[in-house]
Structure 1
Amino acid sequence: MSELREAALVSKAWPFEEARRVLKRYQKQPPEKGFVLFETGYGPSGLPHIGTFGEVARTTMIKTAFEVISDIPTKLICFSDDLDGMRKVPGNVPNSEMLYDHLQKPLTSVPDPFEEFESFGHHNNAMLRRFLDTFGFEYEFYSATEFYGTGQFDEILKRAVEKYDEIMAVMLKSLREERQQTYSIFLPIHPETGRVLYVPMKNVDKENHTITFDDEDGKEWTLPVTGGNVKLQWKPDFGARWAALEVDFEMYGKDHSTNTPIYDSICRILGWRAPEHFTYELFLDENGQKISKTSGNGVSIDEWLTYASTESLAYFMYQKPKTAKRMHFDVIPKAMDEYNQQLVAYHKQDLKQQLNNPVWHIHGGDVPQSNMVVPFSMLLNLASAASAHDKETLWGFIRRYAPDATPETHPDLDAAAGYAVKYFEDFVEPAKTFRLPTDQERSALEELAAAFRDGDTALDLIVRKNEMMGNEDPLPEVDFGSDEFLQSVVFAVGKLHGFENLRDWFKALYEVLLGASQGPRFGGFAALYGVEETAALIDKALAGDLA
C-alpha cells in the first residue's frame, strides 16, 4: 500500500471520510457495472447559482478522494431535471413576459428569454456546462428530456407501473389527506398542449404499461409511460433515477433531508441499493434567507468570478459543508486570502497535514506554488488609497515592493490585482466614509507622519515606547521600509499617545485615512503604498482633504 493511500485511509478530511463510506459498498466485490457512479442533480428552473456549483465541486472532491483509496474506476454524472414543468417565471431574466404563456411546460419546451438557445432549459443547461467546463470538472452531462425521450428510462418506468401500488404506498404516507386523493407518481405530458399535468390516474395498466387520466378539460387520454410521454413526480424521480443509473453516491441540501427515506425506499422497490448520501447545509444571502435560482438572491457564479478566482470559490465550498454559511459579496476577500494562506502552508506540511489542507482537495493533489506576494486584502486597500481604476496603477506599487514580480511571472497576482480594482469600484468606493481625526488622533497622526519621513525619529519613538512599557526589548532590525519596522513604528505611536486598546488606534487609521472601519496590517500597507506616500496621505487627512 502506498504511503498516500495509507494516509488517506485514516485522514479526517471530510472528503476522505465520505469516500471511505462509498468504498464500504464494495468490500465484498466490485460493482458489476465496472465503476462507482457519483451523481449530482440540477434543476434548471432558473440560472445556475453558486449552490449548484458547490454540489459538483464537493462531489468531485469526494470522487477524487475515492480514487486515492481505491482502484475501482469512477464516473461523475451531472443530471439536469429539464423535463420539469416551469411553475413560475424567474424574476432575474430578460423578456420575462414571453414566458407566461408557457407555464407548466417542460423547461426544454419553453422559449429562451435570452434568445440564444432553442429553449430556456437548453440555455440554463449551457450556462451550467460552460462554468463546469471552465473550472475543468470531469463529468458526463445527462438531460432528463433526452433520458426520458430516447427510452433510456423506459425499463424503470415500466417497473414503476408494475410496482405502482408499492411506490404509491410509500408516497401516500408522506402526504396530507387532501393531496392523497389526487396524487399520482406519474405526470403525463399533454399530447396537444405539451404541458406537464398534475392529474389523478383513472387506471394504471400493469400489462401494457399505460396510464389513463382525464385532462383539465375532462377529456380522457391513455398514454404509454415510455418514450417521453410521462415523467415522474420529483420525489419518485429521485429514487427511480438512482435505480436506472445504479447511482452509488449523491449529495443534496438540507431541505431534501426529510425525503431521504422516500428516495431510498423507491430506489429499493425499483431494484437498486440506495446510494450513499451527504446532506449539506444551505447557503444564505445577506439577510439570512436561503439563496434561490428563481429569486436570484445571493451571489451568482459569474458575479463571484468577476471579483475573485475559481479557487477561492472552491475554497469557500470546502469549508464546513454541514454548517449554514452566509454567502454575500463581503465573504469574497476573506476567501481569497485564506485560500492563499493555505496554499503557502501546504508546501511546508507533512503528508498527513497536506491531506487535511483544503487546497489538496481543490487541486486534486496537484497543488501549485503560491506567487501572491501581496495579499488580496492589501491589494483592496491599496486600490482604495490610490483610487485605482486599473490594475496597472496597482502594479506601479507592487513593482516597488516586490521588484522581481511582473504580470508574466506572477499571473495569479496580476489576476488578483484586476479583481481588487473591480471589487473596489463596486463595493469599497461607494461605501467609503472618511472622518476627521479627534485631537488625540491628530497628534498621533502628526507624529506618525514625521516618523515615516525620518528614520531617526522613528527609532526614537520605539525607544520611548520601550522605556514607557518598562521593557528592554532590542530595537528592531533597521530596515526602514520593511513591513515589520513600519509596524513597530505604528505600534509605538499608538502606545505613546495613550491608546489603551490599540484596536482603537488602528480603527482610527482606517477610518481617517482609508474611509473604512477595518483595514490591513498598517505597516505592511505603508511598505506597499510607499512610506513617503503614506506620510502624504496622512497630511491630506489632517488638512481635511479626505473627509
Structure 2
Amino acid sequence: MTTLRDAAMTSKAWPFEEARRLMKRYEAAPPAKGHVLFETGYGPSGLPHIGTFGEVARTTMIRRAFEVISDIPTRLICFSDDLDGMRKVPDNVPDPVALREHLQRPLTSVPDPFGKYESFGHHNNAMLRRFLDTFGFEYEFISATEFYNTGQFDTVLRRAAERYDDIMAVMLKSLREERQQTYSIFLPIHPETGRVLYVPIKHVDAKDGTVTFDDEAGREWTLPVTGGNVKLQWKPDFGARWAALDVDFEMYGKDHSTNTPIYDAICAILGGRKPEHFTYELFLDDQGQKISKSKGNGLTIDEWLTYAATESLSYFMFQKPKTAKRLWWDVIPKAVDEYHQQLRAYPGQGVDQQLANPVWHIHAGKPPESRMVVSFAMLLNLASVAGAQDKAGLWGFIRRYAPEASPETHPDLDAAAEYAVRYFRDFVAPERRFRLPDDQERAAMADLVQRLKGWEGGLDAEALQTMVFAVGKEHGFEPLRNWFKGLYEVLLGASEGPRFGGFIALYGIDETVALIERALAGELAEAQTTA
C-alpha cells in the first residue's frame, strides 16, 4: 500500500517538487539550528496586498509539503523592512501634509497618521499581522527595527564592515557609473534628525566596525555599524538577512530574479549559505500589463474577498505560479467554481491524485466537504433573471432545486449566494446586452416553450439538458453551440452562460417559460433600451 510520504516523494504537484529540492539541502546532515527556515519579506510603506498573500500562501504550501516528506521541524518568518526611510507620503492617510517633515525617517520613527500605534511602521506591521492572522497562517513576525536595534544583526554587520570591499565589488558591477561614485552598502541614520541618509561613506573601519561620513550640512560623523546606527541598502540587506538568520527558502517575484546572483553572492561573502529560491511570475491586469501598487491596476485582497471566499483566492494562487496570470474581476467566478469542483472530486481520488489536487495544499491535507450544490456561475445567472437584491431572493429557488439545503446546513452556499448577488450587481448587470432572436432562434425558442409546458420529467437537470440539445439539433443549428449562444444572448444578455438544463432546473419550468415568452415578445430587449 502506498503511504502518504511515498506518494509525496513522486508527486508532480509543484509544492512537493520544491519540498524535495529543499530536502536535498540536508541530505548529508540535518540543519545545525534544528529546523528548516522559510522566510517571506514585507515592505511596510503600504498596506499588505494581494502579492503579500500570494507569497505567504505559496510558501506555506511548500512548507506543509516539506513536513510530509521530512521529519525536520520547520519555521516560517515574516520579516518587515520597517527600518526603511519613508521616501514619500502616502496619499491614503489622514493629514498627509503633517507627515512631510518626517520624510526619510525610518517608518518606525514616523508618527502614526491614524493615531492608533506607536508609529506608522507599527501601524502597518499591525495591519500585516492582522491580515495574516485572518487567513490562519502560522508564522513568526520579525521587525527589522528590532532586529537591528537589539543587536541580532550585529555579527553580520561587523562582518560586512570587515568584508566591505568584497561586497562593494559585487554591488558596483550592477550600478550605473554615476551611481557608483556615491554608493555604499551602509546607510547611516543621523543621530540628530533620525533620517536615513543616502550619502557617500568616507571611510569604513573594519577593525572598529565604524563608518565615517559627512551629513547633508557638511558635518563629519563616525558611527558604529551595530546597534541600529546604520542600515544596509536593500540589496545587501537581502543577502545579509539570509546569512544572519540562516534562511533555507525564500520566494519572490520575477522582478527580483536579476538580483538573485547579487543576493546569493553577498550571503556567501558574509559566511552564509544561499537559500533555495522560488521565482514566481507576476500578475497582469485586464490589458496584460504588470500589476502595480502605485498604478492601482489590479485587484486588492479586500476587493477579491468582497465577491468570494478566501479559499478561491488560495486556489488562484496555487495554479501555475511560474506562469504570468491575468488577475481581473472575471477570474473570480471561475476560481470559485473550480475550487469546489476539486473539493467534490477529492474524496473519491487515490492518494496520488489527492496530493496533486489544489485543495490538499490549500487545506494542508484536510480539505472540508463542499456544500455548493449550485455553482457560482449558476447563482450569477439566477441573480440575473430573478432580479435578486439579496441572497434571500435566491434561496427560494435554491430550496426548490435542493430541498435538503439551507443556510445553516450549507454555509458555503449561503455565503456564495450573497457574493453572487453582489458580483452580479457590480459587474454583470452593467454589461448585459439583450437582443431580439433571429427567425431560426425564434422558432426554436417557441418550440422549447411548448416542450417545457408539456414537460413531465421534474427538475432533472440532465434530462432537461438533453431536451434543449434536441431542440437545437432539430432546428438545424450548426454548430450546435450557436443555439446555446443564442439562448444566452437573448435570455441572459451575455454571450456565455450555464448548462441550460441545469439553469432550468434551478430557475424552474414555469419561470423559464415566462422568461422565454418575455424575450420573444421583445420585453427584455425593450427594457434594456428604456433603462
- Normalization by structure 1: what TM-score? 0.93
Alignment of 1:69-84 (within 5 A): 69-84=69-84
Q: Distance in 2 between matches of 1:514 and 1:157?
A: 65
- 1:47, 1:294 within 8 Å by CA — same for their partners in 2? no
Report the counterpart of residue 518 of structure 2 in structure 1. Answer: 540
Deviation at 1:235, TM superposition (A): 0.5
Give distance in 1, aligned partners of 2:518 and 2:117: 55
The question of whether the paired residues in 2 share the 8 Å contact of 1:286 and 1:328 is answered with: yes
What letter is aligned with 1:121?
Answer: G
Give the counterpart letter for 1:78 in structure 2: C
Corresponding letter in the other structure for 1:327: L
What is the identity, as a one-letter code, of the residue corresponding to 1:521? R
Aligned match for 2:505, one of 502, 519, 527? 527
**Aligned residue pairs: how many?**
525
The one-letter code matched in structure 2 to 1:516 is A
Match of 1:364, SS state, is coil
Change in CA separation of 1:514 and 1:99 when aligned onto 2, cut-off 3 Å: farther
The verdict on how the C-alpha distance between 1:441 and 1:120 changes in structure 2, with shifts beyond 3 A counting, is farther
Aligned to 2:225: 225
How far the C-alpha of 1:435 sits from its partner, in A, is 1.8
- For the 8 Å contact 1:22–1:249, the answer to whether it is kept is yes
**CA gap 1:94/1:500 in 2 versus in 1, 3 angstroms:** farther
What's the CA shift for 1:509? 1.4
Task: Please give the per-residue CA displacement for 1:51-82, whole angstroms capped at 9, x wherever unaligned.
Answer: 11100000001100110001010000011111
Tell me how far apart the structure 2 counterparts of residues 149 and 40 of structure 1 sit (CA, whole Å).
21
Work out the CA distance in 2 between the residues paired with 1:49 and 1:441.
47
Which position in structure 1 is the counterpart of 2:275? 275
Whether the 8 Å CA contact 1:487–1:522 is kept in 2: the answer is yes
Helix, strand or coil: the match of 1:237?
helix
2:529 corresponds in structure 1 to none
Task: Write the mapping of 1:1-400 to structure 2, written as runs, cut at 5 A.
Answer: 3-93=3-93, 95-400=95-400
Q: CA RMSD in A?
A: 1.7
- Distance between the aligned counterparts of 2:275 and 2:81, measured in 1? 19
> 1:422: how far off?
1.2
> Deviation of residue 116 (structure 1)?
3.9
For residues 65 and 126 of structure 1, the distance between their equivalents in structure 2, rounded to whole angstroms, comes to 29
Paired with 1:145 and 1:419, the residues of 2 have a C-alpha distance of 40
Residue 320 of structure 1 aligns to a residue whose secondary structure is: coil
Question: Could you tell me how far apart the structure 1 residues matched to 2:495 and 2:278 are?
Answer: 39
Give the match for residue 494 of structure 1: 472
Q: 1:95 to 1:489 in 2, by over 3 A?
A: farther
Question: In the alignment, residue 332 of structure 1 is paired with which amino acid?
Answer: I
Distance 2:44 2:499 in 1: 44
Write the letter of the residue equivalent to 2:443: S
Spell out, residue by residue over 1:407-437, the C-alpha distance to the aligned partner (whole angstroms, 9 max, x if none).
1111111111111111111111222222222
User: Which residue identity is paired with 1:538?
Assistant: I
Aligned partners of 1:126 and 1:301: how far apart in 2? 16
SS at match of 2:490: helix
Q: 2:445 is paired with a residue of what secondary structure? A: helix
Contact 1:283 1:327 in 2 (8 A): yes
Question: 1:274 & 1:242 partners in 2: Cα distance?
Answer: 7
Residues 142 and 296 (structure 1), Cα distance of their counterparts in 2 relative to 1, 3 Å cut: farther
SS in 1 for 2:524: coil
Distance 2:45 2:395 in 1: 43
Check the 8 A contact 2:42/2:81 in 1, yes or no.
yes
Deviation at 1:283, TM superposition (A): 0.9
SS of 1:202's equivalent in the other structure is strand
Structure 1 residue 129 displacement after superposition: 1.7
Partner of 2:449: 449
Contact 1:172/1:180 (<8 A) preserved: yes
Residue 311 of structure 2 aligns to a residue whose secondary structure is helix
Q: In the alignment, residue 289 of structure 2 is paired with which amino acid?
A: Q
**1:86 Cα deviation after fit:** 2.4
Moved more, 240-249 or 41-50: 41-50
Distance 1:527 1:20 in 2: 47
In the TM superposition, what is the alpha-carbon distance from 1:97 to its structure 2 partner? 4.2
Q: 1:447, 1:198 → 2: CA distance?
A: 77
Distance across 1 between alignment mates of 2:299 and 2:190: 37
Query: 1:101 and 1:424, CA in 2 relative to 1: closer, same or farther beyond 3 A?
Result: farther
Separation (CA, whole Å) in 1 of partners of 2:329 and 2:110: 32
User: What are structure 2's unaligned runs of at least 5 residues?
Assistant: 526-531
AA of the residue aligned to 2:358: P
Following superposition, the deviation at residue 327 of structure 1 comes to 0.5
> Following the alignment from structure 2 to structure 1, what is the Cα–Cα distance between the partners of residues 111 and 287?
33
1:231-264 Cα distance to aligned partner (Å, 9 max, x none): 1001100010011111000011111111111111
| Structure 1 unaligned regions, length at least 5 | 456-477
Name the CA distance, whole Å, in 2 between partners of 1:143 and 1:326.
Answer: 33
- Comparing 116-125 with 253-262, greater Cα deviation is found at 116-125
Aligned-partner residue type, residue 503 of structure 1: R
The CA distance in 1 between the partners of 2:18 and 2:510, in whole Å, is 54
Partner AA of 2:304 in structure 1:
W
Measured in 2, the distance between the counterparts of 1:386 and 1:94 equals: 42
Instruction: Give the C-alpha shift of residue 227 in structure 1.
Output: 1.6
Could you tell me whether the CA contact under 8 Å between 1:83 and 1:145 is conserved in 2?
yes
Within the alignment, does 1:504 sit opposite 2:477 as a pair? no
How far residue 133 of structure 1 moved from its aligned partner, in angstroms, is 0.8
**Partners of 2:48 and 2:131 within 8 A in 1:** no
Alpha-carbon shift at residue 107 of structure 1 (Å): 2.2
SS for the counterpart of 1:347 is: helix
